[in-house]
Amino acid sequence: MLDDPFPVCTSCAIPANPILQPQGNLYGINQNLGAAMAFTSPVKVPYTERVSFDIQHQFGQNWMLEAGYIMAHGVHLSYNNAISAVPVLPYLSRSPFLDNTTTANLTSTATGFGVANPFKGLGAPYTNGTSNLTASKISATAALQAYPEYSSVTEDLIPGDSTIFNGLNMRLQKRMSNGLDLNVNSTYSKLLQAQQLNAGGPLIYQEVSADFPWKLSVTAIYQLPFGQGRRWMNNSRILDEAIGGWQVSTIYGFLIGAPISWGNAVYQGNGSWKDFHNDPHNYNTNHGGFNIATILNVNTNTTATYNLEAPNGQNYRTFPLNLLRQDHENNFDFSAMKNFHVYETALVQLRFDAFNGFNHPQFTSANVSPNSTSFGNITSVASGTSPRQLQGGLHLIF
Tell me what pLDDT residue 177 has: 82
Q: What secondary structure letter does DSSP report for 124?
A: T
Per-residue pLDDT of the chain (398 residues; tens, 9 = 90+): 456 666 666 666 555 555 666 666 777 777 777 878 888 999 899 999 999 999 999 998 889 999 999 999 999 999 999 998 888 877 888 776 667 777 788 888 888 888 888 888 775 565 555 677 878 888 888 888 888 888 889 999 999 999 999 999 999 999 988 888 999 999 999 999 999 988 888 899 999 988 999 999 999 998 887 766 666 666 666 666 667 778 899 999 999 988 988 877 777 666 566 666 677 776 555 556 776 665 654 333 334 455 677 766 777 887 888 888 888 889 999 999 887 777 777 878 888 999 988 888 888 888 887 767 777 788 888 877 788 889 988 878 77
Where along the chain do its domains lie?
214-398
Beta bridge partners of 186: 170, 216
Tell me what pLDDT residue 7 has: 64
Beta bridge partners of 381: 363
Tell me what pLDDT residue 147 has: 87
Q: Are 203 and 160 in contact (CB under 8 A)?
A: yes
Euclidean distance between CA atoms 212 and 188, whole angstroms: 8
Tell me what pLDDT residue 349 has: 81
Q: Are 378 and 366 in contact (CB under 8 A)?
A: yes
Tell me what pLDDT residue 168 has: 96
Q: Pairing mode, if any, of strands 36-40 and 152-177?
A: parallel
Tell me what pLDDT residue 45 has: 92
Q: Are 159 and 41 in contact (CB under 8 A)?
A: yes
User: What is this structure's pTM?
Assistant: 0.76
Tell me what pLDDT residue 299 has: 39
Q: What secondary structure letter does DSSP report for 356?
A: S
Quick one: which H or E segment has residue 143?
helix 140-144
Annotate 57-100 with three-state secondary structure: EEECCCEEEEEEEEEEEEEEEEEEEECCCCCHHHHCECCCCCCH
Contacts of 119 (CB under 8 A, 6+ apart): 33, 34, 132, 133, 138, 148, 149
At 284, phi and psi to the nearest 5? -70, -30
